[in-house]
Structure 1
Amino acid sequence: MEGLRIMPIKVTADSRCPINARCIWAGELRAKVKVSQKGHQRTLELVQGKPADLGWATVELVDALPQPRAGRKIAPPYRLKFRVERRDRMIPQSR
């Protein structure tokens, strides 16, 4: 989308299941982001797998790297992956 920017501010929660563990719950990933386009800005808290409605499109937090590992704390920065969907097409965004 022309001029669309998604700027990660902070990962506010990361309880994802470590890749070297077995979990009964997948956990949750949340991130605060600033979305801007054509001079308009909006701050959102996105939850992985739950699209947020922007009116003209939706934005979804898809994944984050690095993946958690049991017994290790993740050191910032995270690399977040987003999906933006307009009414007529889907455009993946990485930041």
Structure 2
Amino acid sequence: MKKVFFSVALLGLMIACDNKENVTPQADAGVKVAYQKSVRLAGTSLDMKVAAVTDSRCPINARCVTAGSVKVNFEANQDGNVQAVELDLPAYPDKSVRKTFSLGGQSYQLTLQEVLPYPEAGKPIELEDYTVQFSVVKQ
């Protein structure tokens, strides 16, 4: 119950912030960040921005040949050094998707856990409606 309360409180703080928030994502829970918003990892100078979302997942109540996936482009920024990091999450993942990247001489592991909302037939999603749950851990 405490984890649920903490997650809801953290999400409320991130929504209330204008552009950046210092957060410490936990390896199991991660953080939820809105499209075109950034978070700074506490204790570091690393900012992670959800730069783009490309959603080709088969909508609920639709028939599709493939289940599709959702691609998220992140922009990692550390002291002015910027690197793009792209992850592709299947529509029905059996586990999170991970990618290791290096920036400023430090290696990080980015884990993409979830992208919401899930598409529904007949209900268009604006890019601003997307939230991305992910975590970043120093290697």
TM bracket, shorter-chain basis: 0.5 to 0.7
Cα distance in 1 for partners of 2:62, 2:137 equals: 33
Structure of greater Rg: 2
Cα distance in 2 for partners of 1:44, 1:50 equals: 12
| Per-residue CA distance 1:16-51 (angstroms, 9 max, x = gap) | 243456878542110222101233211122222432
Aligned length: 86
CA contact (8 A) 2:111 2:134 kept: yes
Unaligned runs of at least 5 residues, structure 1: 88-95
Unaligned runs of at least 5 residues, structure 2: 1-40, 90-95
* Aligned residue in 2 for 1:79: 131
CA contact (8 A) 2:49 2:76 kept: yes
Go from structure 1 to structure 2 and tell me whether the alpha carbon gap of 1:9 and 1:66 turns closer, same or farther (over 3 Å shift): same
* Counterpart selection for 1:70 from 99, 121, 126: 121
* Aligned residue in 1 for 2:111: 60
Go from structure 1 to structure 2 and tell me whether the alpha carbon gap of 1:37 and 1:28 turns closer, same or farther (over 3 Å shift): same
TM-score by length of 2: 0.50
CA contact (8 A) 2:85 2:101 kept: no
Matched, 1:36 2:77: yes
1:58 counterpart letter in structure 2: Q
CA contact (8 A) 2:55 2:71 kept: yes
* More strand as a share of residues: 1
TM-score by length of 1: 0.68
Percent identity between the aligned chains? 33
